[in-house]
Amino acid sequence: MTTKKSTQLHNNILHNFDYSQATMKEQLIKECMEMSKYAFQNGIHVPPGLIRRLETIAENHDPRAGIKEDGIPVRKKTQEEELIETKEIKHLATIHDHLTKEIAPATPKTIVMLSLEETKKSIFSFLGPVPFIRRMMLATFIALLTLITVSLSDQVNKLSITKGLFESSGFELLLNLLFILSASAIGGAFYALFQANKYLSQGTFDPKYEPTYWTRFVLGIVSGMILSELLNFDTSQMTAISSSEAFVRPTLAILGGFSTGAVYRILNRMVEAVESLVQGNVDQEVDNMLKISEMEMEQSAADMQLKLAMHLIDLQQIYDTGEMNSQEISKKLKQILNDVTPTNLEIGKDGDEDGDGIPDALQN
């Protein structure tokens, strides 16, 4: 358990220096203290010797040693102090590594950030533990208020909401578009808050990704607008529109705001379909032609091998019976070669200088 003295040391480390301007040793002390506090609060076992060592290092730390004011050191460190500080930094690094593993998946940066936010007094603290959550909550309330306010108008009803961009006009169209946009914003805000809350509960939220959340929020508004307007409903033939049909567009807007990835895939598929209609899949056609050519070559080679085998069998049978003399055998062999060689090669003219019908290469 932490003692009153360690709590005072913790508060001194936390408040007596600027975190962004802290030295490496001060940052290690601060993060180790916050991690140990987090571990105790969540029932995570930490070796008592490790905490005692951390308290000793924090107690002996002089925040004014080595700090300069107007370029002049407030108090110079002695050689002995520098040696001690080097050893303490090594111990702090070991303690920091051990505590980081114990509190995983939470990160030291997130724990320190949450601790700093707890010390700040703000009237909006009830909206969330970090500034991003509070700003996103405010954006969500604005979207909800806009949705409710616009829906109070008699120009936003189950008939007008089913009309497309080209089926309505004027102030009625403006109100219905505001209704759809606010629904999309609610979907985008819901996703951002859900994801941020998950990371906060795990202790892994990083404020450097705040611009990414806001970009995702804006994309959600655009995606909801696109998705709700992609499906057009013909209301000219409808004598009555049910409540379920009237909620189709707002539902699509919320879904689009929540899942920008789905809208992106829909648009990407549409682009691919248009491209295939305009220019076709040239690569696939080339691959098919190559495959057909390869199959024809393989079939031709197989036919040639079969023809050659049949001729050789006939020649072997004639030779065994002894019914043909050498000239007839040579003539038969020339006929076989003409059958199995390309037509542009003439046996007897090229490669047959003695004119006996047998290529010179086969006589050697």
pLDDT for residue 345: 46
Q: Residue 238: pLDDT above 70?
A: no
Tell me the three-class secondary structure of the chain, residue by residue.
CCCHHHHHHHHHHHHCCCHHHCCHHHHHHHHHHHHHHHHHHCCCCCCHHHHHHHHHHHHHCCCCECCEECCEECECCCHHHHHHHHHHHHHHHHHHHHHHHHHCCCCHHHHHHHHHHHHCCCCCHHHCCCHHHHHHHHHHHHHHHHHHHHHCCCCCCCCHHHCCCCCCCHHHHHHHHHHHHHHHHHHHHHHHHHHHHHHHHHCCCCHHHHHHHHHHHHHHHHHHHHHHHHCCCCCCCCCCCCHHHHCHHHHHHHHHHHCHHHHHHHHHHHHHHHHHHHHCCHHHHHHHHHHHHHHHHHHHHHHHHHHHHHHHHHHHHHHHHCCCCHHHHHHHHHHHHHHHCCCCCCCCCCCCCCCCCCCHHHHC
* Confidence band of 235 (pLDDT split at 50, 70, 90): very low
pTM of structure: 0.65
Q: pLDDT by residue (tens digit) across 271-298?
A: 888 877 766 566 667 777 888 888 888 8
* Strongest mean pLDDT among 44-58, 226-240, 291-305: 44-58
Domain locations in the chain as residue ranges: 4-119, 125-279, 288-363
